[in-house]
Chain A
Amino acid sequence: MGKPNLNQNMQKARIAALKEKSNFNPRGHLYANKKKSQDAAEPEVKLEDAPEIVEDVKAEEVVVEKAAPVKQETTQEIYDSISDLSTKYRESNSYSDKKAVEEYLDGHDMEFYEQAYVPLSEVKQKVARMVFSGGIEKPLNWERNKFSSNYRQIANFPYKFPPCNPDDYDLSHSSVWQVFKQAPEFAALEGTFKEALAKRGVTKEMLPELNIYDFSDILYEKCKDPKNMTFAKMFEGAKQKNTKRFIEENREEFELKLLAIPNIDRNYVKDLIYNMETFGNTDMSRFKNPKTGKPYENQPVIDVHHIINIKDAGQFEAMGESFLNVNNYENMCYMERTAHEACHLTDRPLFVSKRDPVTGKREIKTIQRARPKLGIKCFLGFSKNLIIEAKGKVIDNIRKLSNAQEGKKEFNHKPAMEMA
């Protein structure tokens, strides 16, 4: 093979330009072809119809020949760059370093933002987490120290407290139940709550005093499963439910994007989709490669990412919405793990007060975060070919959240500093 002649070079450049104009996508070619066939209104670009392109190619020829080959960054390199830039910004707090983070993320389909922190009560944070995971966690030592004084007696000496009658309780007297019942999953379990209280020997007079840790223990004792040690599954969590919906709505596109990833194992893709459809689970660690009988290796790990973090769910309340919207489908993004972790590298709370020496707790003033650009539903890697966009109403809802974060009119909150 000799050196290609000028005509061959020109021909290659023309084809490249045409492909560029017709959105040809070499890594995601399966998806690109599918998209083209779906979109009949978009005419296919032909060489003879586009003399201006040929001119463009001629004009750019010299540049093309002189340009140094562009090395594509690997996911790990992008992760390291985000890590370096965000560390630099963290240390300097300078405008130029902030700009550098913003620009780098912007070039990698992510965005960086800062906003005032809107606190969410501990009860609400806990309930939001329970709705996400679909169950109750058993309080361990520190949380047991937070039991209300009367309930502590029951927890320490259960044999002294005989069961009560479930029909005696009026749950409206409990402020914690008022939070629980905002979640339809828990509201449907009112009878279970009453039975749990009765079983534990909680008198109706104690009900108003019970806190979230008491309730966690009471519900855990009622619903615990001998197969588990510290977690009682009560319903299908938002994590599973949303994953099933995602794969139902995006199965074909998700599959094609995954198959476009170099070195992807087709069996892995098949198993992953099965796991998501059947169990609402993206965790593939238990699956074995049928060829080797061993766990899959070097395949993309998919995580479920809250676009707005549960800790920031106070923003929904500031918009006049339920804090539980944090677990809605539109607030979820399905992300490849390294990209997901890169996204969290910039997370930083800025504090008002010093750390409490006992609990380690500090009051947060402002938060800094990164997220995939709004409208992205699935982020399989740092490439346009590996992104699935959200559809319809989902985008509208996400835009609303974005407006809220930018402090537009429907978002009416006071920064934590003012409240402190």
Chain B
Amino acid sequence: MKELMRLIYNDENIGKGAPVDANKLALANVELKSKGFCTIPENFAGMLKIFNGVSSYGNRIFGVNPQSNFFDDLVKYNERANMEDKAENLILGADEFDYLVYNNQKSKYQLIDKEDYEIKDESADLADAVARILKI
């Protein structure tokens, strides 16, 4: 994960949101829970404390109440997407074709086709999954 953070930090072509504070994260989790979603996984929350939203060539990792509209808000996006099995799946990012989803039943990160929800790949490693979505 450190390597990913270093790569993002050093890459001038990547847009990075300012870090989110713990209060905002806690509020987002309360909101997610109240709407029937699972909460933000811990290591992803750790990433948001460094970069609250990341975007590269339109491939995006969402943030929590980000300061700019160039970064999507994770809670709003999940509400809008209204994905199947939302209690299990939380969308954390997206590229042109796939969602990056955290499956809390399996404790895994999945790349899922945006349209038919076919699982393309799965990893316990957040760094790999984030890098795949961002194409870095």
Contact = CB atoms under 8 A, between A and B. Distances in A.
A283 B136 contact: no
B135 A135 contact: yes
A378 to B, nearest CB: 15
A14 interface: no
Nearest to A285: B15
A138 to B, nearest CB: 8
Contact of B57 (A239, A299, A306, A364): A239
Contacts of A137: 132, 135
A287 B13 CA distance: 9
A232 B10 CA distance: 17
A399 to B, nearest CB: 25
Contacts of A132: 96
B45 interface: no
Interface string B75-94: 00000100000000000000
Given A137-B135, A142-B122, A303-B58, A230 B13 contact: no
A283 B121 contact: no
A227 B11 contact: yes
B44 interface: no
Interface string B99-136: 00000000000011011111111110001110110111
B121 A140 contact: yes
Nearest to B11: A227
Contacts of B128: 140, 229-230
A78 interface: no
Contacts, number: 122
A42 to B, nearest CB: 38
B55 A283 contact: yes
A359 interface: yes
Nearest to B135: A231
- The interface size bin for chain A is 35 or more
A96 interface: no
A281 B57 CA distance: 6
Contacts of A299: 69
A295 B68 contact: yes
A141 B125 CA distance: 10
A141 B131 contact: no
Contacts of B17: 295
A295 B116 contact: no
A287 B70 CA distance: 10
Contact of A283 (B56, B115, B118, B120): B56
Nearest to B72: A337
11 contacts: A133-B135, A135-B135, A229-B7, A231-B131, A240-B57, A279-B13, A283-B58, A286-B12, A287-B15, A301-B69, A359-B119
Given A140-B128, A360-B117, 20 more contacts: A83-B80, A140-B123, A140-B132, A141-B123, A228-B136, A229-B4, A231-B131, A231-B132, A231-B136, A279-B13, A282-B58, A283-B15, A284-B70, A286-B15, A286-B55, A295-B70, A297-B67, A306-B96, A360-B112, A360-B119
Interface of A: 83, 129, 132-133, 135, 137-143, 227-231, 239-240, 279, 281-287, 294-299, 301, 303-304, 306, 309-311, 341, 344, 347, 349, 351, 359-362, 364
Interface of B: 3-4, 7, 10-17, 53, 55-58, 67-71, 80, 96-97, 111-112, 114-123, 127-129, 131-132, 134-136
